[in-house]
Structure 1
Amino acid sequence: MGTLHPGHGRAAGPETAAARSRLVRMIALGGGLTDPRWRAAFDEVPRDVFVPSFYEAMAGGYELVAADDPDPRRRGRWLRGVYRDGPLATRIGEDGALVSSSSQPSLMALMLDALDVEDGCRVLEIGTGSGYNAALLSHRLGDRAVTTIDLEEEITSVARERLAAAGYRPAVVTGDGALGCPRRAPFDRIIATCSLGSVPVAWPRQCAAGAMILAPMATGLIALRVARDGGPAEGRFLATPAFFVPLRTTDASAGGDAAGPDVTGQGVPRHALADDRFRFLLSLAAGSLPPREAYELWRRERRPTRERYGVTVEGDRQWAWLDSPEGPYVWQTGGAPDGA
């Protein structure tokens, strides 16, 4: 007999339970889920409930893969995809662009571990998506501690239904994540599952002293600590690369586009263009540092890795830096470089 999902009202079949167990073991073998409370969350929260269908990229577009496909081979393809350690496209816009996705489970585990939560922490998640990450947070911290926000009612209403079906009822809010959620503030942790060009100034202002903000930025993960209620905030990037759907926002000052510049034909050697560490610097300094200057800095500083970079947010000002927020290598995010 299958095991019941908490509050879900149906038994998970043996194939589904085995697939989830294999995924959890794979993440653990890779060094993730060292905290038994997070491992229990991944063991018990059913990703299949939150991703009943997804899109696979095909020549000329996307193909829908769904749990309710009448072809058993295609249903098997869906189950393997859901419990594969990879991101899943869950919503495609009319223009063919990816709008929403379910993140790679091992990266989710890494981020949740890095979030360094404690019992009683109040968490704001920016980017509800499928609702799966909100369910993991609710499993660990309880429903009342978790707020998740997304821009469109079509996304949040579906996520709310799936969360309830799996037995979780965090606060699911429809709104602009760049503006945070002031009516639910203050927060002890903010975690974003969408990529930023800069940190929205509203986020530190809605944080308690000692809070952490963890968000994809450029092609990395920035972990900021908030010094006192409402900011300032400062921190370094984690070592791991990270690629997420950009933050969609109605706030033009939020800097949602984290894409790096096109550097074709701008005097940068091919070996640098192929190096993930250099591409990270280009993305982080986009609009502030010409590609050739970025290359000279990167070469002079012996190809710095992500964890040597950081970000400081003070009120309406923020800047990225290499090694030290005092310089000499400092860039205003979204503006001209202060020094290079």
Structure 2
Amino acid sequence: MAAHAPQSATEDLARRARAALVREIDRSGAFAADPVWREAFEAVPRHLFVPFYYVGAAGAAGTDGFERVWSEDPDPRARDDWLRGAYEDAPLATRVRAGELVSSSSQPSLMARMLAELDVRDGHHVLEIGAGTGYNAALLAHRLGDSRVTTIDLDAEITEAARRHLARAGHHPHVVTGDGARGVPERAPFDRIVATCTLTTIPPAWLPQCAPGARILAPLATGLIALRVRSPGCAEGTFLHTPAYFVPLRGGTTPAPRPDRLGGLPRRAQGEDLLRFLLTLTAGRLDPQDAYTLWEREGRPERERYGVTVGDGPARAWLDDPRGPYVWPLA
């Protein structure tokens, strides 16, 4: 194997790439809600959490259409490409099985926006659903301290790798292997729960594990729902404006049906992101043509006009008012 570049040169490139990423996140406005997160992104080195990742490469041998980029490549130019790619403001595929993406490192600017919207305060205890590479847990641990952060993933291979990455970065939060839909009751109560995987509903097991006034932020449909726990066993809130696409939660929930029955809708509407959001949110509950009619009649609503109520009966989504007239049960 060829000799690697001097460590100081690698560290210098990493520092410059990380600084450029922080500037890009800053320009996106993601730090505006809580500028303290800028310090976390400056301090936590993303490349330590993605020693390898995959890029699309049709026909790549043995990888089902993906090519691995890694830190130990014998070609120094390839290693530099790996390092620069680790600091692009883009999601990175980190686990691929039989051609299917099962885990990734999310787009940093979206991570920053979600962390800011989580409204974390000093002393809070946070549960993260979906450990991934451990990068998001490291950002939380930098802000709150290791003992106040718990992250869970169903896949032991993923949690073991996350522990290694976190330790290499100097962090030791609680990493649990288990079904995220069940939460981590032995570590409760939590002031904040954040999911980094797409849900079809809000798992009922989470609410008893929340402290009074807790906030839950999770990808649902193709958006981000922000819920406030208003009373024991009950939470309610609206979607953020931001679109969000994540790997589905594996374990306690089933993937939502894809809104792919668009053939009968006007062609100009078939590519509309906000209509697809409504179709995904109401999949199996609302006929696509009825959804399209509602969407047009209500002025093509933005995501933030939709909300979710959990507890006090089955979980449900709604438009404008949780009391109706537009209310749909979640999966």
> Which TM-score band (shorter chain)?
over 0.9
TM-superposed deviation, 1:211: 0.2
Secondary structure of the residue aligned to 1:63 is strand
Cα offset, 1:161, TM superposition: 1.3
Amino acid at match of 1:223: A
CA contact (8 A) 1:260 1:284 kept: no
Q: Output the CA distance in 1 between the equivalents of 2:278 and 2:284.
A: 12
Cα deviation, residue 260, structure 1: 2.8
Match for residue 218 of structure 1? Answer: 221
2:184 aligned residue: 181
Quote the residue 1:233 is aligned against: 235
8 Å Cα contact 1:218-1:260 kept in structure 2: no
Q: For structure 2, which runs of at least 5 residues remain unmatched after alignment?
A: 1-6, 60-64
Counterpart of 2:110 in structure 1 is: 107
Q: 2:154 matched to 1:151?
A: yes
Q: Which residue of 2 aligns with 1:305?
A: 302
Instruction: Answer yes or no: is the 8 Å Cα contact 2:257–2:284 preserved in 1.
Output: no
Cα distance, 1:165 vs structure 2:
1.1
Name the SS of the counterpart of 2:48 in structure 1.
Answer: helix
Distance 1:63 1:245 in 2: 19
Instruction: Structure 1: give runs of 5+ residues left out of the alignment.
Output: 1-8, 335-340
Q: 2:277 — aligned with what?
A: 280
Percent identity (aligned): 61
1:270 aligns with 2:272: no
Q: 1:314 aligns with which of 305, 311, 316?
A: 311
| Partner-residue secondary structure (3-state), 1:108 | helix
Aligned to 1:54: 53
Q: Of residues 74, 81, 87 in structure 1, which corresponds to 2:85? A: 81
**TM-score scaled to structure 1, two decimals?**
0.91
1: CA distance, partners of 2:58 / 2:267 = 28
What is the CA RMSD across the aligned residues, in angstroms?
1.5
1:18 and 2:22 are equivalent in the alignment = no
Looking at structure 2, the residues matched to 269 and 326 of structure 1 have their Cα atoms a distance apart, in angstroms, of 31
Closer/same/farther in 2, CA of residues 84 and 259 from structure 1, 3 Å limit: farther
Q: Please state whether the residue corresponding to 2:315 is helix, strand or coil.
A: strand
Output one character per residue of 1:160-188: Cα deviation in whole Å (capped at 9) or x when no partner. Answer: 11101111010000000010011111110
1:236-280 Cα distance to aligned partner (Å, 9 max, x none):
00001000000011x2xx3x4145321142x21111111101010
* 8 Å contact from structure 1 (residues 196, 257) kept in 2: yes
CA-CA distance at 1:53 after TM superposition = 0.6
Is structure 2 residue 158 aligned with structure 1 residue 190? no
Normalising by the residue count of structure 2, what TM-score does the alignment of the two structures yield? 0.93
Matched residue type, 1:185: A
CA distance in 2, matches of 1:73, 1:167: 28
Q: Secondary structure at the match of 1:21?
A: helix
CA deviations on 1:16-54 (whole Å, 9 max, x unpaired) are: 100000000111011122334211100010000000110
Report the counterpart of residue 325 of structure 2 in structure 1.
328
Residue in 2 aligned with 1:292?
289
**Correspondence for 1:42:** 41
Quote the Cα distance in structure 2 between the aligned partners of 1:258 and 1:73.
42
Partner of 1:260: 258
- Rounded to whole Å, the distance in 1 between the matches of 2:30 and 2:259 is 33
Query: Where do residues 113-124 of structure 1 align in structure 2 (5 Å cutoff)?
Result: 113-124=116-127
The corresponding residue for 1:6 is none
Question: Matches of 2:10 and 2:147 in 1, distance apart?
Answer: 26
Q: Once superposed, which parts of structure 1, at least 4 consecutive aligned residues long, lie more than 3 Å away?
A: 9-12
Partner of residue 164, structure 1: 167
Shift of 1:11: 9.2
